[in-house]
Amino acid sequence: MAPPQPKNRSHAPAKAGPGQPGRRMASRDAGERAAFFARREAATVLRRVLRGDASKRSGGSIKSLVFSPSVRNKRATFALVCQTLKCLPILKEVFASTGVLSSKWKKQEELVYVTAYDILFGQEIAVSGSVEQFILLHKDTFRTTLKKICVKRKVSSIKDLISENTTVKPKPRFVRVNTLKTTTGSVIEVLSKIHKVEKDDMVPDMLVLPPGTDMHKHPLVTDGKVFLQGKASCMVAVALCPKAGWKVIDACAAPGNKTVHLAALMNGEGNIIACELNKDRAKTLQHTVRRSGANNVETVNGDFLDIDSNDPSYAEVRAILLDPSCSGSGISTERLDHLLPSHSRDDQDDAGSSARIRKLSAFQRKALSHALSFPSVERLVYSTCSIHQAENEDVVNSVLPLATSLGFELATPFPQWRRRGLPVFDGAEHLLRTDPEDDLEGFFIALFVRKAAADESSAEPSKDGALGAKKKRVCTTGNNGLRAFSSLRLSRMDALRSIWRL
Ligand SMILES: C[S@@+](CC[C@H](N)C(=O)[O-])C[C@H]1O[C@@H](n2cnc3c(N)ncnc32)[C@H](O)[C@@H]1O
């Protein structure tokens, strides 16, 4: 029976020599110490993940919990948490049939699971922690039970047992070049020395790397020259297409990936007000803004709904990006939710989850109506990373009478994109959906454009067919290969045709 090997573990297995391990920490070798601490860090993260999952509250995705500043050995912790989660149903079955999990161990069951995974399936480093000793004491019983489970399920190895429900198609790694700090050309030059790098054919400054490419610690990322942002997420700011110099609100902004993307699209010119309700997430937002080098972003820790749209300081807001809290059902694979116990219970449509979606969509409607009330807004993007109609088409449909009365209409971002909104009302074809099958996450984008602004912009071009003597920065969400903000002399009609396909 071949045990599965851990992936991406930075603490290499250390061979315990005769006479080892010593009883005191000081005498443990580096491998033992690393394993000892990694198990405890992983257990802390696992507890938060499982509690969030059990209560149906989002306690944060596995990734966000692992990559929080309090976790020191992120890589090892991430690997250990994911591997333990993959094995969790089997481990629970083993503990249930052996009956060794007394109330004493149940109090620290996450550490028991992590250690059991690590000693039974991962690295067999025996250290003198009490949980480690407990697992070692029963190791042979656990192995015998595992063999019986394999026989019962008719699989030849534990590896097969574990991969039964956890295999996910690998996706390319998308990265966005932060043009406030560097150029796409220079990033390609650096990355192509070690990876196959391609330019995305639709989103400017987006690069596509092979699945599994780990960029988390790459200097380009830590220096803020590159952001690890998915393609669908990047389509949102490109769809909004704010002009350099505009005043823009990012209404629900943390962690700030779209805020700094907007800043880059605006070439750092103009003013972005990035609003975030949650205090801790507002700090993350500030950190993201600092890392990006954007100096036209003002962060506000507060409720977007409390911003008075009639306050003269917001009278010049021309564009709003509204990416509110949502169920995250479109990025559940990315968030590794398929590893969570609730996923396997197939309770996605139970009463608790419908109530949660109803509550979210009520907030989304309120926030979208509020965004529409800003007097000078010309362009407004509403986006979610949800696949639920209740958070997407239904929200847009419910505000359409208000939007129409205020002079807005739906426009078509990325007209060449095939997958549009669910056909549940006239005009849903303007909406955009992305799907995990497109190798992306499940995102939804609606673009509202104020008719007066569109009409004014679509006035006949001047005699030379250009926007004016000066080169204008023009945003396109159009055809393959076009840059989002190319310094091109485009005729007004051409520009509008490719940008705001109404
Ligand atoms: C989906 S996330 C935004 C992700 C962000 N746009 C990005 O790309 O990095 C939604 C955020 O909205 C915040 N939020 C929720 N309600 C809010 C409100 N009433 N006002 C401001 N922010 C809010 C949440 O705390 C959360 O950080």
Q: Which pLDDT score is estimated for 347?
A: 46
In ligand 1, which atom is closest to the CA atom of 251?
Answer: 21
**Distance in angstroms (rounded) separating the CA atoms of residues 324 and 112:** 37
pLDDT over threshold 80, residue 201: yes
Q: Are 47 and 59 in contact (CB under 8 A)?
A: no
Confirm or reject: Cβ of 330 under 6 Å from ligand 1.
no
Calculate Rg over the CA atoms of the chain: 26
Q: Which pLDDT score is estimated for 466?
A: 30
- Pick the residue whose CA is nearest to atom 17 on ligand 1: 277
Confirm or reject: Cβ of 208 under 6 Å from ligand 1.
no
The domain spans of the chain are: 25-163, 173-227, 231-453
Burial, 64: exposed, middle or buried (Cβ in 10 Å; 0-12, 13-18, 19+)? middle
What distance in angstroms lies between residue 256's CA and the mean position of ligand 1's atoms? 9
Q: Are 132 and 23 in contact (CB under 8 A)?
A: no
Confirm or reject: Cβ of 281 under 6 Å from ligand 1.
yes
pLDDT one-digit tens code per residue, 263-300: 999 999 999 999 999 999 999 999 999 999 999 999 99
Q: Are 67 and 222 in contact (CB under 8 A)?
A: no
What distance in angstroms lies between residue 69's CA and the mean position of ligand 1's atoms? 20
* Residue showing tokens 């290499």: 12
351 vs 115: which has the higher pLDDT = 115
Confirm or reject: Cβ of 224 under 6 Å from ligand 1.
no
pLDDT one-digit tens code per residue, 84-97: 888 888 888 888 88
Instruction: Write out the binding residues for S-adenosyl-L-methionine.
Output: 252-258, 276, 303, 323
In ligand 1, which atom is closest to the CA atom of 254?
Answer: 27
Instruction: Write out the binding residues.
Output: 252-258, 276, 303, 323
Reported ipTM: 0.99
Residue 37's pLDDT band (boundaries 50, 70, 90)? Answer: confident
pLDDT over threshold 70, residue 160: yes
Question: Two tokens at 25?
Answer: 């920490």
What distance in angstroms lies between residue 323's CA and the mean position of ligand 1's atoms? 7
**Active centre residues (catalytic):** 385
Same fold flag, 173-227 and 231-453 = no
pLDDT one-digit tens code per residue, 341-386: 666 554 444 555 788 899 999 999 999 999 999 999 999 999 999 9
Confirm or reject: Cβ of 252 under 6 Å from ligand 1.
yes
389 vs 65: which has the higher pLDDT = 389
Q: What are phi and psi of 482, to 5 degrees?
A: -80, 140
pLDDT over threshold 50, residue 469: no
Q: 271-276 and 297-301: which strand pairing?
A: parallel
**Distance in angstroms (rounded) separating the CA atoms of residues 342 and 208:** 32
Residue 210's pLDDT band (boundaries 50, 70, 90)? Answer: very high
Confirm or reject: Cβ of 255 under 6 Å from ligand 1.
yes
CATH code given to domain 231-453: 3.40.50.150
**What homologous superfamily is domain 173-227 in, according to CATH?**
Sun protein; domain 3 (3.30.70.1170)
What distance in angstroms lies between residue 285's CA and the mean position of ligand 1's atoms? 10
Question: Two tokens at 193?
Answer: 């020395």
